[in-house]
A = this chain, B = another copy of it.
Amino acid sequence: MNAEIISIGTELLLGHVINTNTAFLSQKLAELGIDVYNTSVVGDNRKRLLEAIRSAAARSDIVVTTGGLGPTVDDITSQTISMLLRKRMVLNRRVLKDLENYFRFRKMKVLTSSVRQAYVPEGVRCVRNKVGIAPGLITKYNGRIIICLPGPPRELGPMFENAISPYLKKRIKGTWVIKSRTVKLASVPESQVNKSVKRLLKLKPPTTVGIYAKAGQVELRIMAKAKNEKDVSASILKIKKKIREKLKDFIFGYDEDTLESVTGRLLTRRKQTIAVAESCTGGLLANRITNVSGSSKYFIMGLVAYSNSVKENILGVSKESIEKYGAVSQEIAIAMAERIKLLAGSDIGIGITGIAGPGGGTPAKPVGLVYAAIIIGRKKILKEFRFKGTREEIKFQTTQDILELLRKNI
C-alpha cells in the first residue's frame, strides 16, 4: 500500500511555518509498511486543494492531509472534502459536545467561530480530538482512503497514534512488515561513527542503516523490511549487534530514549538522588531532568546561581575562592557541586559554570568555555568543555555532555 501526504497552508509555502507534520507522518506510515512516494504543499485555496486531493487519490491508496481544519476563514479542508464528495455540511453533535467541554474546562465562553468546526461533510467519520477542537475526518473516495488531520502537531500526533494508526493497521494485512530501530550515541563525533560502521552504511534494502547528526548526539537508524515480524526483528537484531561491537561505549539508548530519560532510569534503579547548581546553563539542566515523568523521585532541587552573590550567600561558595579563581573555573564548579549536594542532602551534586555568550568572553576564558563537576559520594568527575555556537546551543551542548558524563558514572 502507498500513501501521499498533502500539507495545507500558505504559511508553509512562504516558509513562515516549518513542516514537521510531513516528517512525522512519513515516519509513522513507513513503520506501518506504507510507502510514501510523494509529499506536497498547497496553499489555502479550495480549487487547488481539491485538485491536489483528486490527483493524489488517482495515484495512491491513501491520501493524508494536514491542516486547514481550524476556525478561521483560511481553514478550507472540511468544505473542500464536502465539494469532493458532493455532500452538504452537517452539525456533528458529539463534536459539538467535545467543543463545549473544551471551553468549559478552561472556564471560557464558547466562541461562535469555533462552533463552525462542529460542522462536517455528511456521512464522513469524525475522529475525536482530545487535545484541541478540530475533529479529524476519515472518508472513502473512489475506493481510496482520505484522512484529514488537524495542523497543530500536538493535536495531529496523538490523533494519529490513537485513531489513525489502528484504523490503517486493520487495512494493511498481508503486506510487508517494516520496522526501524534507532541507536543513539553521545560524546562521539559523526565522522568517527561513520568510520566505525562504514560498511553498514552502504547496505542496500531490505535492510539499511542511516546516520544522522543531531545537536550533541549521533543516531544510527536501522530499517528492515520482511514478510513477517520474526524475520524483520532478526535482521534488526543482527545489525544492532554489529553496531554494539564497534561503538558500545558511546551508545546511551535506543528509539525514544533521551539522555535525561536514560539517566533517570539509572537513578531510579539505583535509588540515588540528585541536585544541580547551574550558572551558565541557567536552569536548562534542571528543566531537562524534570521533563522526565517520575523525576520527582530522584530530583531534589535545582539552583540557578546566576549572580556571584547567590553563589556566595545562598550556595555558600566562599568569596575568596571566587576572587582567587574567578567565577568561571574548575574550582568554583567543584564548590558549587559540593554545596548543592550538601544543601539538598542528595547522593549526587552537579556544578556548572561557564560563558554562554555572546558577550563576556576573554582570550583566556572564551565564550563556550564551561567547567563542570559531578560529585557522586566521594567520587569527583571534573570536566572542561569548549563549545562553539549561539548562547542557546552552548547551553544545550553543555547539558548534553553533562548528562552523558553522569550516565557513564552512576
Task: Determine if B14 and A27 form an interchain contact, defined as CB atoms under 8 angstroms apart.
Answer: yes
Asked if A287 is at the interface (CB within 8 A of a chain B CB), the reply is yes
Interface class of chain A by DSSP: mixed
Shortest distance in angstroms between A140's beta carbon and chain B's nearest beta carbon? 25
Known pairs A73-B202, A278-B283, A310-B344; list 18 more (Cβ under 8 Å). Answer: A12-B23, A13-B36, A15-B23, A15-B26, A15-B29, A18-B19, A19-B19, A71-B190, A72-B211, A113-B194, A152-B213, A282-B291, A283-B289, A287-B395, A299-B306, A300-B309, A301-B303, A303-B304
Task: Determine if B301 and A16 form an interchain contact, defined as CB atoms under 8 angstroms apart.
Answer: no
Q: Which of A9-50 contact B (CB under 8 A)?
A: 10-20, 22-30, 36, 39, 41
CA of A307 to CA of B356 in the docked complex: distance in angstroms?
29
- B residues within 8 A CB of A304? 283, 286, 290, 299, 301-304
Task: Determine if B111 and A192 form an interchain contact, defined as CB atoms under 8 angstroms apart.
Answer: yes
Asked if A189 is at the interface (CB within 8 A of a chain B CB), the reply is yes
Residue of B nearest to A17 (CB): B212
Which residue of B23, B39, B71, B303 contacts A18 across the interface (Cβ within 8 Å)?
A: B23
Shortest distance in angstroms between A57's beta carbon and chain B's nearest beta carbon? 21
Which residue of B25, B283, B286, B386 contacts A105 across the interface (Cβ within 8 Å)?
A: B386
Asked if A70 is at the interface (CB within 8 A of a chain B CB), the reply is yes
Residue of B nearest to A157 (CB): B390
Which residue of B192, B223, B283, B291 contacts A302 across the interface (Cβ within 8 Å)?
A: B283
Which residue of B20, B30, B111, B391 contacts A189 across the interface (Cβ within 8 Å)?
A: B111
Asked if A253 is at the interface (CB within 8 A of a chain B CB), the reply is no
Task: Determine if B294 and A300 form an interchain contact, defined as CB atoms under 8 angstroms apart.
Answer: no
Give chain A's interface residue range (CB within 8 Å of chain B).
Answer: 35 or more
CA of A30 to CA of B301 in the docked complex: distance in angstroms?
47
- B residues within 8 A CB of A289? 282-283
Task: Determine if B305 and A74 form an interchain contact, defined as CB atoms under 8 angstroms apart.
Answer: no
CA of A309 to CA of B273 in the docked complex: distance in angstroms?
13
Residue of B nearest to A151 (CB): B213
CA of A190 to CA of B15 in the docked complex: distance in angstroms?
20
Asked if A262 is at the interface (CB within 8 A of a chain B CB), the reply is no
A104-117 interface code vs B (CB 8 A; 1 in, 0 out): 01111001011000
Q: Which of A387-401 contact B (CB under 8 A)?
A: 388-393, 395
Shortest distance in angstroms between A328's beta carbon and chain B's nearest beta carbon? 12
Asked if A131 is at the interface (CB within 8 A of a chain B CB), the reply is yes
Asked if A269 is at the interface (CB within 8 A of a chain B CB), the reply is no
- B residues within 8 A CB of A41? 39
- B residues within 8 A CB of A191? 70-72, 111, 113-114
3 cross-chain pairs, A with B, having the tightest CB-CB distances, nearest first: A282-B290, A15-B26, A283-B286
CA of A29 to CA of B212 in the docked complex: distance in angstroms?
27
Contacts A24-B15, A301-B307, A303-B302 given: A73-B201 contact, CB under 8 Å? yes
CA of A302 to CA of B305 in the docked complex: distance in angstroms?
7
CA of A115 to CA of B177 in the docked complex: distance in angstroms?
40
Asked if A408 is at the interface (CB within 8 A of a chain B CB), the reply is no
Residue of B nearest to A114 (CB): B191
CA of A11 to CA of B198 in the docked complex: distance in angstroms?
17
CA of A291 to CA of B356 in the docked complex: distance in angstroms?
9
A sample of 8 inter-chain contacts (CB < 8 A) reads A11-B212, A16-B212, A71-B194, A72-B190, A73-B198, A111-B192, A113-B195, A302-B306
Task: Determine if B27 and A16 form an interchain contact, defined as CB atoms under 8 angstroms apart.
Answer: yes
